[in-house]
Structure 1
Amino acid sequence: MNSSQYPSKYASPKGIFTVGTTRFKWYDLAENPADVSSEDVSKAKMCIENAEENFQHINDQGFVIMHRCDKNYLLLVCTWRSENELWESVYYDGSGKFEVWDRNKIHLPTYCVWEMVIVYHESKAWKKFLGTDRTEIHQQNYLDDFFEGEA
């Protein structure tokens, strides 16, 4: 495969998305960030707000990657559960609304090459947070530390 088949994408931070007591850093990821519509973002946020994971009542921090893949999206919802492991739920918009991507397999896909740039940044930012006394100011420092750029 040559690089023209896998053009660069752009990771665009979109601020903090709060669901109950869970705070997410939001990223749009697309070849052209303007292709991520506000209507689709609203649908994605509604999906997270109503998710079975019940983020409303879990005091957590993490990040969301709204990945535009051609004309569809993958929605990666990641939390740290205040520890050193990254937890993830994946949704896609196959039916016009976001739904759980059933990945009930032994060996399954995780992050693609574009998403990995964001995940790597978030991993470093969270590790830095874990090395603190984890007070509110340190939580805010983590939430303020976004990646932006070519992926």
Structure 2
Amino acid sequence: MEKFKKRAVKYLDIIEFGDWKFKLYSMKYNELRVTPEIEKTIKTILPDWIKKNSQRNDFPNYKIGTVIIHEAKDSILVVVNWWVYENVIQNHVYCSEYKHPYKFVDISSKGLRFCVWEMNILWHERNLWVKHVLKKSDNPDWNSYLNHYYVLDYAA
């Protein structure tokens, strides 16, 4: 087991396609390791992932969520979350090996969800959802939710 260290985190952009909007974050185990074009790759394949997985249940779907590209110690994880059923996160996790960084496999069925570093972002997103959507349920402030994001440079 490795001793806990902070990880570099960066808010990147909002990805939009169709009616969907996702906040995109980057997280790195090793700040010096660069996987060329990884953001572009995720932006390209995300619509297919969403099309496949957003039909799995009949819950109300707000078509708003987060994507975390985590260049972890041994692999690249992409944690995709979107809000359903008022206050629930639909979650899917994809993984690729560094030797094949653009070949992702859906590992959601293996029960993995998110790690201790990714939880910082998700906790922040949870608090924003409560503040801008649930506490304003008569008139949710979608734009405020989307325009606020996790801003720390390192996930503690």
Question: What RMSD in Å do the two structures reach over aligned CA positions?
Answer: 2.5
Structure 2 SS opposite 1:93: strand
Q: Which amino acid aligns with 1:109?
A: L
Q: Distance in 2 between matches of 1:135 and 1:98?
A: 41
| Post-superposition CA distance 1:15-66 (Å, at most 9, x none) | 21112111001100114556454511111122212221269xx751011000
| Number of the residue aligned with 2:43 | 45
Contiguous gaps of at least 5 residues in structure 2: 56-60
- When normalised by structure 1's length, the TM-score is 0.81
Give structure 1 regions of 4+ aligned residues with deviation exceeding 2 angstroms.
Answer: 31-38, 94-105, 133-136
Structure 1 SS opposite 2:126: helix
Where does 1:12-51 land on structure 2 (aligned, <5 Å)? 12-33=10-31, 35-51=33-49
Structure 1 SS opposite 2:125: helix
In the TM superposition, residue 9 of structure 1 has moved relative to its aligned partner by: 0.3
Contiguous gaps of at least 5 residues in structure 1: none
Larger deviation, residues 112-121 vs 11-20: 11-20
Where does 1:74-85 land on structure 2 (aligned, <5 Å)? 74-81=77-84, 83-85=86-88
Larger deviation, residues 25-34 vs 80-89: 25-34
Where does 1:96-111 land on structure 2 (aligned, <5 Å)? 96-105=101-110, 108-111=111-114
Larger deviation, residues 62-71 vs 117-126: 62-71
Pairing partner for 2:71 from 68, 80, 84: 68
Instruction: Give the length in aligned residue pairs.
Output: 144
- When normalised by structure 2's length, the TM-score is 0.78
Structure 1 SS opposite 2:53: coil
Structure 1 SS opposite 2:150: coil
| Post-superposition CA distance 1:82-125 (Å, at most 9, x none) | 610000111112344243433435xx332211001001000100
Name the structure where strand makes up a greater proportion of residues. Answer: 2
Identity of aligned residues (%): 26
Q: Distance in 2 between matches of 1:76 and 1:135?
A: 29
